[in-house]
Amino acid sequence: MRRHSEMTFGCVSKDYGNRSSLQPHTQLAIQSGGSVLSRLPSSTSTVVKSPIYMLRGFSTPIPFARLNMTTITSLKRISAKDLSQRILAERDSAEPTYAIIDVRDDDYLGGHIRGGIHAASEQLDALMPTLLRRLEGKRTVVFHCALSQQRGPSAALRYLRERTATSSSGESSQQEVLVLDRGFEGWRQVYGEDERLTEGYRKDLWGDH
């Protein structure tokens, strides 16, 4: 007999049957990701050692111990100045240790950070497997959109969680995922006309000339 239970959100537990028959405190433990073992009725004989949860939007079951608890507000940020220094320091490198992911959509027109990868937010779901493969081995990955307030941070968080789900714990922890502070808008105000750092810049499209 199996000695642990593998449960998924919105599904039926393999060991407990229909979740609707569980005691309220047991259902709460499952739904909240808490310790099921400590909250099971005393008459339950099944031992729960390592429950596995299926997170909504992810195709890979993730052991609870490996859940990435990063949130949009806790994502680390990098300033335009620090990123520019990183780019210039590795400008002659055939394989930079960093990657820049620009998730702007139609507003991508008018310039972009040199060497960046365009992965429009509207296509991110389809592009995610490719990004995971392409960014493997990079020490730092920087995401941004126009202002880095919504699309950029959301994409960074999605990538971080997908990477956690598909990588070993060691591989996942070795890569730093950052968000460019103030996005491309902040970047182009300082470095838009610096061809070492920005490609395809069209100042006339930005309405501040």
Q: Report whether pLDDT(29) > 70.
A: no
Residue 61 vs residue 10, higher pLDDT: 61
- The residue with tokens 């890979």 is 60
CA distances from 2 to 11, 12, 50, 57, 154 (A): 19, 16, 12, 28, 38
Phi then psi for 12, rounded to 5 degrees? -95, 135
Would you place residue 28 in the very low, low, confident or very high pLDDT band (cuts 50, 70, 90)? very low
Alpha carbon distance 101, 82 (integer Å): 16
Would you place residue 195 in the very low, low, confident or very high pLDDT band (cuts 50, 70, 90)? very high
Largest CA distance in the chain: 75
Domains in the chain: ranges and CATH: 19-66 (no CATH), 72-205 (3.40.250.10)
Q: What is the pLDDT of residues 33-84, one digit of tens each?
A: 433 333 334 444 333 333 444 444 544 554 444 556 788 889 999 999 999 9
What are 57's two structure tokens?
A: 């939007």
Q: Mind spelling out the 3-state secondary structure of the chain?
A: CCCCCCCCCCCCECCCECHHHCCHHHHHHHHHCCCHHHHCCCCCCCCCCCCEECCCCCCCCEEHHHCCCCCHHHCEEECHHHHHHHHHHCCCCCCCCEEEEECCCHHHCCCEECCCEECCHHHHHHHHHHHHHHCCCCCEEEEECCCCCCHHHHHHHHHHHHHHHHCCHHHHHHCEEEEECCHHHHHHHHHCCCCCCEECCCHHHCCCC
Q: Is the pTM of this model over 0.75?
A: no
Contact present, 27 and 73 (Cβ < 8 Å): no
Active-site amino acid positions:
145
Q: What is the pLDDT of residues 171-194, one digit of tens each?
A: 556 899 999 999 999 999 999 999
